[in-house]
């Protein structure tokens, strides 16, 4: 990676076409599946499913995604597999939301969501390893901050897109149309992201041995992440709760208002991503995590 030196300071060139490709792929992917996610509570209501069904769908899907990341991380240690895994994961996640439109039972939604979130979990480590390889070490925080900002911008665009689509097409039609951004995300990753030499590659080990070789500080980090995740409620449950609370005063418009509130939540998240990534390049990331 080249640098341009001005005086005693080096301006690191990190915002390359590949980094833009990572961001665009995540933006499109989130736009697609977040538009479907925003309308998911409304679909379950039409299917006559109890609110508990939404909790089961989200809990099992998130759990499956988490375990899939173990396999994804194992495969991501092989640089030649990273790009095919990432592209396939984006494509599978994008296509899975279209199955929502065919559902006649909440169990069908559970199956589709599980497939999509499994693919999402598998692709994550491969994509992140490629992103870490694509930029200099001193710009990793900015690159990941930019990527998260683009990813969360998709989580803003998705609910807003869902609001517009619900006013123009039937509910099930929204899920079919949500497939389009997901497919485009796989295309963007294929075309724009260039596979690197694999500076983060390690000598492959058997799966269970590789887990046992994780350093103690990283295991401690995982415990903290787990404890945070226990209290991190699924966003769809918040959308459903907001819809229920707004229904007496907003009537049929309650679902749309709840989705717009969700988009506002994601907008604040997106605005914070890059500044926090920039700070992570300039100070101890542990302090930022504690403050967060």
Give the tens place of pLDDT for each residue, 43-88.
998 999 988 898 899 888 988 888 898 889 888 888 899 999 999 9
Contact 90, 178 (CB under 8 A): no
d(CA 239, CA 261): 8
Going by pLDDT thresholds of 50, 70 and 90, the confidence category of residue 266 is: confident
Residue 113 has pLDDT above 90, yes or no: yes
**Cα separations (Å) of 146 from 130, 140, 152, 164, 213?**
15, 10, 10, 27, 31
| CATH classification for the domain delimited by 14-195+219-291, as one of 1.20.1250.20, 1.10.340.30, 3.30.56.10, 1.10.357.10 | 1.20.1250.20
What pLDDT does residue 154 have? 93
HEC readout, 188-249: HHHHHCCCCCCCCCCCCCCHHHHHHCCCHHHHHHHHHHHHHHHCCCCHHHHHHHHHHHHHHH
Least confident span in 105-109, 222-226, 259-263: 222-226
Contact 138, 83 (CB under 8 A): no
Mean pLDDT of the chain: 83
What pLDDT does residue 4 have? 41
d(CA 55, CA 61): 10
d(CA 138, CA 142): 9
What pLDDT does residue 207 have? 60
Give the tens place of pLDDT for each residue, 131-178.
999 998 888 888 999 999 999 999 889 989 998 898 899 999 999 999
Contact 51, 240 (CB under 8 A): yes
């Amino acid at each position: 990676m080249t640098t341009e030196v001005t005086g005693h300071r080096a301006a690191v060139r990190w915002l390359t076409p590949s980094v833009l490709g990572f961001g665009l792929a995540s933006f499109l992917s989130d736009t697609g599946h977040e538009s479907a996610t925003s309308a998911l509570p409304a679909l379950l209501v039409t299917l006559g499913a109890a609110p508990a069904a939404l909790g089961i769908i989200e809990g099992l899907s998130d759990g499956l995604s988490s375990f899939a990341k173990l396999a994804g991380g194992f495969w991501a240690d092989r640089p030649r597999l990273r790009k095919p895994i990432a592209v396939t994961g984006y494509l599978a996640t994008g296509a899975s939301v279209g199955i929502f439109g065919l559902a006649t039972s909440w169990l069908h939604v559970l199956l589709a969501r599980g497939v999509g979130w499994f693919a999402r979990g598998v692709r994550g480590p491969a994509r992140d390893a490629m992103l870490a390889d694509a930029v200099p070490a001193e710009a990793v925080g900015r690159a990941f901050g930019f990527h998260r900002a683009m990813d969360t911008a998709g989580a803003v665009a998705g609910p807003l897109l869902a609001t517009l689509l619900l006013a123009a097409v039937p509910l099930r039609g929204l899920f079919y149309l949500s497939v389009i951004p997901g497919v485009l995300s796989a295309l963007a990753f294929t075309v724009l992201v260039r596979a690197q030499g694999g500076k983060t590659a390690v000598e492959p080990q058997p799966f269970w041995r590789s887990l046992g070789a994780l350093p103690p500080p990283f295991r401690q980090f995982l415990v903290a992440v787990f404890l945070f995740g226990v209290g991190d409620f699924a966003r769809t449950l918040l959308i459903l709760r907001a819809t229920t609370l707004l229904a007496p005063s907003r009537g049929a418009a309650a679902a749309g208002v709840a989705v717009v509130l969700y988009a506002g939540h994601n907008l604040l998240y997106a605005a914070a991503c890059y500044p926090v990534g920039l700070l992570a390049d300039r100070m101890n990331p542990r302090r930022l995590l504690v403050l967060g």
